A and B are shown apart, each in its own frame.
Chain A
């Protein structure tokens, strides 16, 4: 239980604190502006103004909904790996590859030594935090996932690549903490892809976070967790943010067999469905959860980033999280 750690960091949260996994949908004006920017029709400053406007919208929307731990919504990012790769020496931009259905992304290519070029997200975190008194999470992508989601033409093997990335991401964590950030989420959705590489993912996370004073969350989704549980509990983080709704709560069975020993951000709404869940269904998920995990350790959020939903759907899904958490608090 990491409430003691949070309180030591000056963060006091209610039972079943609500949060989000990271991304929110971009308002239409920002989507249009990003396209115009890529065609050279507007400049960086004009784009940044709109990204700030959209960030402000989502901060105020989260406050209005009563979310406890906020995110900046990643209005300035396209893809969770490409954003970092485009800014870090050592990467070359790759062409588009498909992720699923009609979703494509620019998969980066590692062609040289990876370096940290200076703060990548810290200014955005400072801006988002300046808009609210509630804690805003620092949002990063983990070294193992950046390695797994990139082509490698430079390092001798996957471990060496992950460690080089961990050294760079650690510097970003240090920059966020120096700016005042107390909760840092380092996403590792690739965590369960190659179960035999779990030790590499753990080693990379240790290299990223060891000795740093913050509450660390890692998000993972859509994987064969049965193959890495309970070994994944060795990850040096305080909170696992897991997609529980889409996996139909299969993981609770694993937790019954071997106790879950960390805090959990428990996904209660499916981010790939247009259907808005009934808050009572989300509440039932949480009831099931508290049979297996201490209620003081349960946070509430969507399964994954909401960027693929419409703005209205995302707000409605967040509201479901808030209502379910409120009902659980009694």
Chain B
């Protein structure tokens, strides 16, 4: 049996905002009604609230320690934050990496600047919703993790329309400044765990220096919060490609955890079991992109191989990426697999696969 006291279950980001039943289609119906002029923005907020509560409830019931708000209100991972900054216009659709999902591309018409908190309300809503879940979940150790798309991925996904932001490093720097301010506001609102997503660096590893530089203001913002006596962990997550080529560089970045997608290269398990990691890892061992359900015993064996080589055995087991790419029933089943895999690791009987227990 492995020591699993520090093996947390952590969701990686998005969650389906729709299901097959009528009640799970409230957001789709309301959005369509708003488009037709038959519902108000207030109706839309209310439908988003409803689906956010359901996403939170599913995660909490599945026993996830670090939940997200499911990013239900996000049009996509790029335009949601970028579109709320001054100097940014939202343009046409582009494919989001190699998914069947599309994002709207931000066009920078001036240096992007933040007028005020962007995600604070979403964080506060999620935390409040979590405390109102029926007992016993309200007394669990579950915490809300806030997800932010990182400055490099935002910059790489944006179009420049003026000379001032034409340079990628400069664009990333401007986004980094806005994100650092956001981190400060989220921490002030009580956020203790913030996940920065940088999937683009796996696709464009030659931009490593730009990424590294752009992350500095975010790390500085965390350090300021911690220095003031508050608790804040900042994790960096990468996914949608093989992490192995950048593994050494990634785990040497001074984040509190580095989240990795193992589904593109399972040999990474063996490598970590030999090389180890100087810091806690996010273990994306549950495929967030395919419906096929993993065997908890196999996942447990993979974790066991790596855990001894991670300082303090601190790791965050989660899906390889957000779960919005899966139908709701499979997303829920994948959440259930997290708990089943940890149980298998502890040598406990594993509940039947197919859903959260």
Interface residue A140 (Cβ < 8 Å from any Cβ of B) = no
- What sequence of 0s and 1s flags, for each residue 97-110 of chain B, a beta carbon within 8 Å of any chain A beta carbon? 01011111000000
Question: Can you give 12 contacting A-B residue pairs, CB < 8 Å?
Answer: A95-B327, A95-B328, A96-B18, A96-B19, A96-B328, A97-B16, A98-B101, A102-B31, A104-B28, A107-B327, A153-B292, A190-B100
Interface residue B125 (Cβ < 8 Å from any Cβ of A) = no
Interface residue B39 (Cβ < 8 Å from any Cβ of A) = no
Interface residue A316 (Cβ < 8 Å from any Cβ of B) = no
Name which residue of chain B comes closest to A190, CB basis.
B100
Assembly CA distance A239 to B18 (angstroms) = 38
Residues from chain B with a CB closer than 8 A to the CB of A100 are 76, 93, 101-104
B326 and A97 form a contact (CB under 8 A):
yes
- What sequence of 0s and 1s flags, for each residue 255-285 of chain A, a beta carbon within 8 Å of any chain B beta carbon? 0000000000000001010000000000000
User: Which residue of B18, B93, B329 is within 8 Å of A98 (Cβ)?
Assistant: B18
A74-132 CB contacts (< 8 Å) to partner B:
94-102, 104, 107, 109
Interface residue B75 (Cβ < 8 Å from any Cβ of A) = yes
Number of interface residues of B (CB under 8 A): 31
User: Which residue of B17, B20, B95, B327 is within 8 Å of A193 (Cβ)?
Assistant: B95
Interface residue A152 (Cβ < 8 Å from any Cβ of B) = yes
Q: How far is the CB of B301 from chain A (nearest CB, A)?
A: 21
Q: Counting chain A CB atoms within 10 Å of each CB, which of B32, B103, B326 scores highest?
A: B326
Name which residue of chain A comes closest to B97, CB basis.
A193
Interface residue A222 (Cβ < 8 Å from any Cβ of B) = yes
Interface residue B41 (Cβ < 8 Å from any Cβ of A) = no
Interface residue B229 (Cβ < 8 Å from any Cβ of A) = no
User: Which residue of A101, A104, A153 is within 8 Å of B18 (Cβ)?
Assistant: A104
Residues from chain B with a CB closer than 8 A to the CB of A148 are 100
- 19 other contacts beyond A151-B292, A153-B290, with CB at 8 A cut-off? A94-B291, A94-B330, A96-B19, A97-B100, A97-B324, A97-B325, A97-B326, A98-B18, A99-B102, A100-B76, A100-B104, A102-B31, A104-B28, A107-B100, A149-B100, A152-B292, A153-B291, A224-B95, A272-B93
Q: How far is the CB of A253 from chain B (nearest CB, A)?
A: 15
Assembly CA distance A112 to B50 (angstroms) = 37
Q: How large is the interface on A (under 10, 10 to 19, 20 to 34, 35 or more residues)?
A: 20 to 34
A246 and B93 form a contact (CB under 8 A):
yes
Q: How far is the CB of B272 from chain A (nearest CB, A)?
A: 24
A99 and B100 form a contact (CB under 8 A):
yes
A222 and B326 form a contact (CB under 8 A):
no
A98 and B324 form a contact (CB under 8 A):
yes
Number of residue pairs across A and B with beta carbons under 8 Å? 73
Assembly CA distance A272 to B91 (angstroms) = 11
Assembly CA distance A2 to B53 (angstroms) = 57
Residues from chain B with a CB closer than 8 A to the CB of A270 are 92
Q: How far is the CB of A90 from chain B (nearest CB, A)?
A: 15
Top 6 A-B pairs, shortest CB-CB distance: A95-B327, A100-B102, A151-B291, A102-B31, A153-B292, A193-B98
Interface residue A223 (Cβ < 8 Å from any Cβ of B) = yes
Assembly CA distance A102 to B31 (angstroms) = 7
Q: Counting chain B CB atoms within 10 Å of each CB, which of A94, A149, A151, A223 scores highest?
A: A151
Residues from chain A with a CB closer than 8 A to the CB of B6 are none
Residues from chain B with a CB closer than 8 A to the CB of A102 are 28, 31-32, 35
Interface residue A287 (Cβ < 8 Å from any Cβ of B) = no
User: Which residue of A95, A99, A194 is within 8 Å of B330 (Cβ)?
Assistant: A95
Residues from chain A with a CB closer than 8 A to the CB of B292 are 151-153
Interface residue B94 (Cβ < 8 Å from any Cβ of A) = yes
Assembly CA distance A97 to B325 (angstroms) = 6
User: Which residue of B31, B32, B327 is within 8 Å of A96 (Cβ)?
Assistant: B327
A214-239 CB contacts (< 8 Å) to partner B:
222-224
- What sequence of 0s and 1s flags, for each residue 184-223 of chain A, a beta carbon within 8 Å of any chain B beta carbon? 0000001011100000000000000000000000000011
Residues from chain A with a CB closer than 8 A to the CB of B100 are 97, 99, 107, 148-149, 190
Assembly CA distance A95 to B329 (angstroms) = 8
Residues from chain B with a CB closer than 8 A to the CB of A190 are 100
Name which residue of chain A comes closest to B18, CB basis.
A96
Residues from chain A with a CB closer than 8 A to the CB of B75 are 101
Q: How far is the CB of B334 from chain A (nearest CB, A)?
A: 12
- What sequence of 0s and 1s flags, for each residue 132-160 of chain A, a beta carbon within 8 Å of any chain B beta carbon? 00000000000000001101110000000
Residues from chain B with a CB closer than 8 A to the CB of A98 are 16-18, 101, 324
Q: How far is the CB of A193 from chain B (nearest CB, A)?
A: 5
Q: How far is the CB of B13 from chain A (nearest CB, A)?
A: 14
Q: How far is the CB of B89 from chain A (nearest CB, A)?
A: 14
A194 and B324 form a contact (CB under 8 A):
no
- What sequence of 0s and 1s flags, for each residue 6-49 of chain B, a beta carbon within 8 Å of any chain A beta carbon? 00000000001111100000001001100100000000000000
B299-335 CB contacts (< 8 Å) to partner A:
324-330
B131-148 CB contacts (< 8 Å) to partner A:
none
A96 and B291 form a contact (CB under 8 A):
no
> Taking A96-B327, A100-B102 as contacts, is the C-beta distance between A222 and B94 under 8 angstroms?
yes
B31 and A94 form a contact (CB under 8 A):
no
B31 and A223 form a contact (CB under 8 A):
no
Residues from chain A with a CB closer than 8 A to the CB of B31 are 101-102
